[in-house]
């Protein structure tokens, strides 16, 4: 039995998904605690703390655009041929996960914190981007890929919970003002992440490369392209990325995705500040409230069912509306300061985490349908390009937002290493969390009302693509189909599938996996 025919067992699915314990966990810890750690224990100002994350993520965003291409071409080199073009990065990245410990050392300089955080961001991207391609490498079967993705999402939710639960227990044992809790937490998770990535390396595989394909790859390595052709290839890549914005459904999806996820990240960045300085509770309380993210573990199963039954738009509405109501409730709790404050914010946090876990579930479950819309325009399969654009804008927007949080906190009078904050700083914290996050979620909610891609419209789109592939005439299109296709693509029907719209789109070579499916 060849590797591509191997069965995707539960063990295989869990082994693959374990890497997202790092993807879902490490960045939850960073989003919730890193700015707080920098300002309280590292002696950095809010602007310095925000700038570190912003600089690192902008560099990482650019690096991520080309990481996929590097992975695609690693078979040109001996390491790729021996360990796999994707799995090589898992093997190399596993021991490098230990650098996560370096983030949580106290009283170092700005340059130290910038370089250590940038290093971890790049290592994480080096692991995650090739790892995300493995379902396509391991099987061409839709159901088997779904099994792998479902295991990944379940483990990611588990990672998010552990990333918020474990710090809370450490604070309870060591005390909320003991910086050693952060270092121990970092050391523990660094080892866990290293082991998880290595297990993913051991339990996954890649598609077999035929001798003819390998010979072609090696010959290309012996006769590399010239500098001019390399520049042309880079220009073509940038042109490919820019062309994704011509797809109407993708533009809306990207707007919803970026606004909602950025809002969620800003909430994570200021929630500990809100609990400690606005509500006068402790870091342990903040960690325990964030650990209510455990609802995302069983929620992943429920959300999958709801996605099919009521569609992504209704799920978007439920998620964003729930979170907005909870944000306003947090603001009310600050103003009223009820006698049962901990219970009150505990209930609000539980409901908020339902909306938050739903927010994280939807976008990447909707994403696989976007390339089908693009195919109606370009007659090509371009999943990788769309994924790169989403990743780039996600990282860039969160970098900018995090930096702005630092700037606004500083302008509001925030004092680093202080046990208490001036009233102006407290009001700034509350304003960012209640009004800033709510504003971004409102934009996402409004955009969701105009998002037309769902199970019904997608089925109509796919059926039309299939009809045209089998030499169906465009003149015979059904009126309802024409209306749906135009609303999803943003083009007049006559310009689709070989019409004028494709003139401005690059011709992309169909990837191997799609060829396998078509065979």
**Which residue shows structure tokens 């390399």?**
230
- Report the CATH number that the domain containing residue 87 is assigned in CATH: 1.20.1250.20
Q: How far is Cα 213 from Cα 91, in angstroms, rounded to an integer? A: 24
Q: Strand, helix or coil at 470?
A: coil
In a domain, 214, yes or no: yes
**Ordered per-residue pLDDT tens for the chain, 519 residues:** 344 457 888 888 899 989 988 888 888 888 778 888 888 888 888 889 888 988 888 888 888 777 766 776 677 777 777 777 788 889 999 999 999 999 999 888 899 999 999 999 999 988 988 887 777 677 766 567 667 877 887 888 888 888 878 887 887 777 666 778 889 988 999 999 999 999 999 998 887 766 666 666 566 554 445 445 555 656 766 777 788 888 899 999 999 999 999 999 899 889 989 999 999 998 888 888 988 888 888 887 788 788 878 888 899 999 999 999 999 999 999 999 999 999 999 999 999 999 998 998 888 777 778 888 888 988 876 766 777 788 788 888 888 888 888 889 889 998 877 778 899 999 999 999 999 999 999 999 999 999 988 888 888 998 898 888 888 888 888 999 999 999 999 889 888 887 655 444 444 343 433 333 333
Q: How far is Cα 79 from Cα 440, in angstroms, rounded to an integer? A: 44
Q: Strand, helix or coil at 391?
A: helix
List Cβ neighbours of 519 (8 Å cut-off, separation of 6 or more): none
Give the count of domains, the chain.
1
In a domain, 463, yes or no: no
In a domain, 183, yes or no: yes
Q: How far is Cα 272 from Cα 33, in angstroms, rounded to an integer? A: 7
List Cβ neighbours of 9 (8 Å cut-off, separation of 6 or more): none
In a domain, 77, yes or no: yes
C-alpha to C-alpha distances, 470 to 323, 467, 476, 509, 517, nearest whole angstrom: 46, 5, 13, 20, 16
In a domain, 170, yes or no: yes
* Alpha-helical segments (H) within 414-506: 423-431, 437-448, 455-469, 479-489
Q: Which domain holds residue 40?
A: 10-224
DSSP for 148-187 reads HHHHHHHHHHHHHHHHHHHHHHHHHHH-TT-THHHHHHHH
In a domain, 111, yes or no: yes
Backbone angles phi and psi of 444, in degrees to 5:
-65, -40
DSSP single-letter state for residue 7? -
**How much is the pLDDT for 328?**
97
C-alpha to C-alpha distances, 315 to 229, 276, 308, 438, nearest whole angstrom: 46, 32, 10, 17
List Cβ neighbours of 470 (8 Å cut-off, separation of 6 or more): none
In a domain, 196, yes or no: yes
Secondary structure (H, E, C), 252-320: HHHHHHHHHHHHHHHHHHHHHHHHHHHCCCCHHHHHHHHHHHHHHHHHHHHHHHHHHHHHHHHHHHHHH
């Amino acid at each position: 039995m060849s590797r591509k025919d191997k069965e995707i067992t539960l063990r295989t699915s869990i082994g693959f998904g374990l890497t997202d314990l790092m993807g879902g966990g490490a960045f939850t810890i960073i989003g919730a605690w890193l700015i707080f750690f920098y300002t309280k224990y590292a002696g950095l100002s809010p602007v310095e703390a925000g700038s570190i994350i912003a600089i690192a993520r902008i560099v990482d965003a650019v690096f991520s655009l080309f990481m996929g291409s590097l992975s695609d071409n690693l078979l040109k080199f001996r390491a790729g041929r021996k360990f796999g073009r994707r799995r090589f990065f898992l093997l190399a990245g596993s021991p490098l996960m230990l650098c996560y410990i370096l983030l949580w050392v106290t009283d170092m300089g700005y340059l130290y914190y910038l370089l250590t955080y940038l290093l971890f961001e790049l290592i994480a991207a080096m692991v995650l981007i090739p790892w995300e391609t493995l379902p396509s490498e391991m099987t061409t079967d839709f159901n088997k890929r779904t099994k792998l993705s479902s295991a990944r999402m379940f483990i990611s939710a588990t990672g998010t919970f552990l990333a918020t639960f474990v710090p809370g227990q450490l604070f309870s044992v060591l005390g909320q003002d003991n910086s050693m809790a952060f270092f121990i937490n970092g050391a523990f998770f660094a080892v866990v992440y290293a082991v998880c990535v290595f297990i993913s390396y051991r339990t996954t595989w890649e598609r077999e490369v035929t001798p003819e394909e390998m010979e072609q790859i090696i010959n290309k390595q012996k006769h590399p392209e010239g500098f001019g052709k390399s520049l042309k290839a880079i220009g073509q890549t940038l042109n490919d990325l820019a062309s994704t914005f011509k797809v109407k459904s993708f533009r809306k999806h990207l707007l919803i995705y970026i606004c909602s996820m950025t809002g969620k990240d800003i909430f994570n960045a200021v929630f500990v500040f809100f609990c400690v300085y606005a509500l006068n509770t402790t870091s342990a309380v903040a960690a325990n409230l964030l650990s209510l993210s455990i609802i995302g573990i069983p929620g992943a199963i429920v959300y999958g069912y709801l996605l099919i039954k009521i569609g992504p738009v209704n799920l978007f509405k439920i998620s964003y509306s729930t979170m907005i109501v909870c944000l306003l409730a947090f603001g009310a709790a600050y103003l009223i300061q009820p006698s049962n404050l901990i219970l009150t914010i505990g209930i609000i946090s539980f409901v908020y985490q339902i909306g938050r876990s739903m927010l994280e579930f939807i976008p990447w479950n909707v994403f696989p349908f976007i390339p089908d819309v693009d195919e109606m325009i370009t007659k090509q399969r371009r999943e990788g390009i769309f994924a790169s654009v989403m990743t780039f804008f996600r990282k860039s927007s969160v970098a900018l937002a995090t930096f702005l949080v630092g700037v606004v906190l500083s302008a509001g009078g925030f004092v680093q290493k202080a046990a208490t904050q001036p009233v102006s700083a407290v009001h700034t914290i509350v304003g960012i969390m209640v009004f800033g996050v709510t504003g971004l979620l409102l934009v996402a909610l409004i955009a969701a009302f105009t998002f037309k891609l769902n199970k019904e419209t997608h089925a109509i789109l796919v059926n039309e693509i299939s009809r045209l592939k089998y030499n169906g005439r465009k003149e015979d299109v059904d009126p309802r189909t024409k209306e749906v296709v135009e609303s999803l693509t943003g083009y007049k029907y006559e310009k689709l599938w070989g019409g004028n719209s494709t003139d401005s789109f690059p011709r992309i070579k169909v990837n191997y996996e799609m060829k396998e499916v078509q065979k």
